[in-house]
Amino acid sequence: MVEQVEIFEVGPRDGLQNEARAIPVSEKIALVDCLSQAGFKRIEIASFVSPKWVPQMAQSAEVLAGIVRVPGVSYAALAPNRRGFDDALQSKADEVAIFAAASEGFSQANLNTDIAGSLQRFGAVAEAAKGANLPVRGYISCVTDCPYEGAVDPDQVRRLAESLLEMGCYEISLGDTIGHANPVRIAALLDAVVPHIPAHLLAGHYHDTRGLAWANVQVSLDYGLRVFDASVGGLGGCPYAPGAAGNIATEGLHHNLTELGYDTGLEAGQLACAAAMAQAMRGVQSNV
């Protein structure tokens, strides 16, 4: 039987949040509508954070209101606090994501609070989500390296993942935020995490430097992970992680996984269209 691997498309959020040009809502909606035809089960398209912190995501409600929703696709939004959750709920996001950091330096830079403070805010989001019957996904940033503090202790990631699961997250996405990980470091991380948290509750979210994201996916497959986040066209970066690379490109990841015999359920022609669209949005010629 062919094994399934799910690609969680995060391009319209993680990909676009870092773009300097103010991208019109109509372009964002067109990209999501194109992606909705490619076979994804989950697409992250919105972020209800402070518009002062991430101006590009300020029109998230309009994006959610303007897309053509395809049945069976869950349209996800980031929610950093209770206000973000209320906005996501009102805009009819199908699920929300909370996003903690494994290092104090990145938590301060990204969320203006320490890890303990962020968990308090996320607890309020998780509680409200439970009441509204909305699934919550948990991200952990800087799982191997922090742009401010360097190497991160894998046990700190494990403890944080356990806290997020206790809050009610249905899955933890492990973020190599700045694309500094390599297969040896990811193996050390998963050696610490997987004995405590089953692989089916984990996803890999690898930003791509020097092609290492694919190597990180491969080692993660060996540990049993079967969900990977990716951005169409390889868009991305994090505004609060200096030098952060884009996410692994969806179309390349799909190609490589298919070559290894995995089924992603995605349609390559539609991915190529979306990748060309994404790259045109940032003014880069598509080479797909």
Region of 237 on the Ramachandran plot (φ > 0 left; ψ -120 to 50 alpha; else beta): left
Judge whether 238 counts as a catalytic residue. yes
Distances (CA, A) of 10 to 29, 130, 140, 158: 14, 23, 15, 23
According to the binding rule CB under 6 A, does residue 49 interact with ligand HMG?
yes
Interface pick for ligand HMG out of 15, 84, 246, 252 (rule CB under 6 A):
84
83 binds, options ligand HMG, Mg ion, none, Cβ within 5 to 8 A by partner type: ligand HMG
Going by their DSSP bridges, the two strands 136-141 and 42-47 should be labelled as unpaired
Report the partner that residue 53 touches, choosing among ligand HMG, Mg ion, none (CB closer than 5 to 8 A by kind). ligand HMG
Residue nearest to Mg ion (CB): 14
d(CA 237, CA 123): 26
Task: Give the Cα separation of 146 and 136 in Å (integer).
Answer: 24
Q: Are 197 and 172 in contact (CB under 8 A)?
A: yes
Tell me the closest approach of the beta carbon of residue 188 to Mg ion, in angstroms.
21
Confirm or reject binding of residue 141 to ligand HMG (CB under 6 A): yes
Tell me which stretch binds ligand HMG (CB under 6 A): 60-68, 75-83, 124-132, 256-264.
75-83
Q: What tokens were used for 235? A: 């868009």
List residues near Mg ion by CB under 5 A: 14
Residues with a known catalytic role: 238
List residues near ligand HMG by CB under 6 A: 14, 17, 47-50, 53-54, 78, 80-81, 83-84, 99, 110-112, 139, 141, 175, 177, 205, 207, 238-240
